[in-house]
Structure 1
């Protein structure tokens, strides 16, 4: 089969490792496994970080890619409930374990060190494949798994979002943030967003956001406080100074859920703002099997569709990565796998 292979580990800050497009051995299904012929895959920021040496547990050679959808092509022994020809999406959360609060020590995310979805075929445990939602295209299906799972755990499991609550999501446009907006809006929350792009704010409002503010304006925090009334829940992938702004915007007894830190560490955090407001600040990432099922059920029930920003052929994956790093996209960047 054809696949992109990461062969080099590099030190952080020294550049970006090349991906090699080459012929590799097609995987065979073992006990409890299936092989899926992939139709589509999708990019995540994790893929870029791995190439830059910014992610733990990198092993080479291995095939990147966490998100994918396709057709079951082979079934191993001891597999039930799945048949050849089934259309499936893949849960990239591998080996979470039994504790819903945090993953086991051997937990991994599909795609480095476990061979991922930048390939024509993938071998995966049968418990990690689920029926593709019928209302989704192949491109939309591939855009859903990692971002949808992360957003669901942040908004529903951790954030416990409720109808009528106010949710603030800074930096709208990325895959997880956009999916979190769709989830919170579908559950009846009033969602407010921020972006450096008025166009992205307008797109977010078409997806269900109640309003938004351009954070390039000096008084954006004040503006957002006025129009939103403050947050019952903030879902943050940015960190840095933005986390302090979210603490300022937080209502008494509210929650902040963090799953990223694109702006880096938080400096000079004023602790009284946290304890006098009785805030709960939680970290989260990925999710377990039951949360993946809950996320799929929510998307099926509300007929939600992930936003696909652009579609590239697999052969142009490095160009797609450059687009992701440029940051102009809204939603997910998807790869079409050659058949």
Structure 2
């Protein structure tokens, strides 16, 4: 079968190779992958900026397809069923945080950028009926990360003012859609005027260009501040967020793409009674809740582009350029 492998001997660091088709063992199923989607972790693996890198691994955490074979002890009702994959592996029993053995499908366990992938049955959810395979493939990792950040950590509810940074990213877009679905007043940031305009068309109350020096002052003047801020960048924007958070508000961070802040305004932090929450991925329980929420609210992932699997390396290059607006999906 064809698969995208992380390699050490080429300039691209990834290559499509022919590898042996896996077979399901006890409690497992073989999924014929219909579509798979990129996440930033795939690109980070490609450039060596992810822990526990193992070459010759099939990348990919997001996927949707059809159960083609079942292993011993698996309920036959799964056969030929359309499914999405929960990319969590070994989250553990603590809802508050992942276990020490936790990892994500696609590194070091072979992932979804292949014609077939084997997973255990407890990683399966039926594909939401309102999504096609391309849309469903874009949901799992980004949807789960956003669900935990928005509801478990951010406790977003109707009528609250919410700011979501970096709206071009998949997680940010899901957080926008989730918060919007419960009646929150959602604002966004981006360094792209085009992306801001697109999200305002989709229902954002307003958008702010973080490349403008006075964006946070303008945001505070026009909104009065935010109950919840959901961010993936970190860095020196932290002090902007501390100026923007309402008393008792919540700052939720699920990434740190710009690193640590050079300094942190501790006075604003303690005086505002604000709380800072770290968040990443989510538990199996949250995955089930997320899929149910998406189905009940008829949420569809925002797709930036779809291409054949043979063109998957160009999708990685597009992600590296950072111009996408939505998920990058490949089909088989």
- When normalised by structure 1's length, the TM-score is 0.95
Deviation at 1:195, TM superposition (A): 1.1
Task: Specify the alignment match of 1:146 in structure 2.
Answer: 141
CA contact (8 A) 1:307 1:331 kept: yes
Secondary structure of the residue aligned to 1:240 is coil
Task: Specify the alignment match of 2:280 in structure 1.
Answer: 285
Deviation at 1:231, TM superposition (A): 0.9
Aligned pairs, how many? Answer: 332
- Please state if 1:212 is matched with 2:207: yes
Deviations 1:265-301 (A, max 9, x none): 1111111111111111010101111101111111111
Matching residue within 24, 29, 54 for 1:59: 54
Secondary structure of the residue aligned to 2:78 is coil
Matches within 5 A, 1:1-80: 1-8=1-8, 18-80=13-75
Deviations 1:19-70 (A, max 9, x none): 1212111111111111100000000000011111111111122100000000
Matches within 5 A, 1:243-254: 243-254=238-249
Deviations 1:239-278 (A, max 9, x none): 1111221111000000001011111111111111111111
Structure 1 outlier segments of 4+, above 3 Å:
none
Secondary structure of the residue aligned to 1:116 is coil
CA contact (8 A) 2:238 2:264 kept: no
CA contact (8 A) 1:110 1:116 kept: yes
Task: Specify the alignment match of 1:133 in structure 2.
Answer: 128
Matches within 5 A, 1:86-105: 86-105=81-100
Unmatched tracts of structure 2, length 5 or more:
none
Secondary structure of the residue aligned to 2:220 is helix
Task: Specify the alignment match of 2:251 in structure 1.
Answer: 256
In structure 2, distance between residues paired with 1:144 and 1:189: 21
Task: Specify the alignment match of 1:12 in structure 2.
Answer: none
In structure 2, distance between residues paired with 1:278 and 1:82: 52
Task: Specify the alignment match of 2:102 in structure 1.
Answer: 107
In structure 1, distance between residues paired with 2:75 and 2:199: 41
In structure 1, distance between residues paired with 2:117 and 2:261: 39
Secondary structure of the residue aligned to 1:264 is coil
Deviation at 1:138, TM superposition (A): 1.4
CA contact (8 A) 1:49 1:55 kept: yes
Deviation at 1:82, TM superposition (A): 4.3
Task: Specify the alignment match of 2:316 in structure 1.
Answer: 321
CA contact (8 A) 1:239 1:264 kept: yes
In structure 1, distance between residues paired with 2:147 and 2:77: 25
Deviation at 1:169, TM superposition (A): 0.7
CA contact (8 A) 1:236 1:243 kept: no
In structure 2, distance between residues paired with 1:263 and 1:275: 24
In structure 2, distance between residues paired with 1:83 and 1:143: 21
In structure 1, distance between residues paired with 2:92 and 2:72: 22
- Greater mean alpha carbon deviation, residues 203-212 or residues 234-243: 203-212
Matches within 5 A, 1:186-205: 186-205=181-200
CA contact (8 A) 1:16 1:52 kept: no
In structure 2, distance between residues paired with 1:89 and 1:246: 35
Secondary structure of the residue aligned to 2:323 is coil
Q: 1:254 to 1:132 in 2, by over 3 A?
A: same
Unmatched tracts of structure 1, length 5 or more:
10-14
Matching residue within 175, 191, 197 for 2:170: 175
- Please state if 1:301 is matched with 2:296: yes
Deviation at 1:207, TM superposition (A): 2.6
- Please state if 1:158 is matched with 2:153: yes
- When normalised by structure 2's length, the TM-score is 0.97
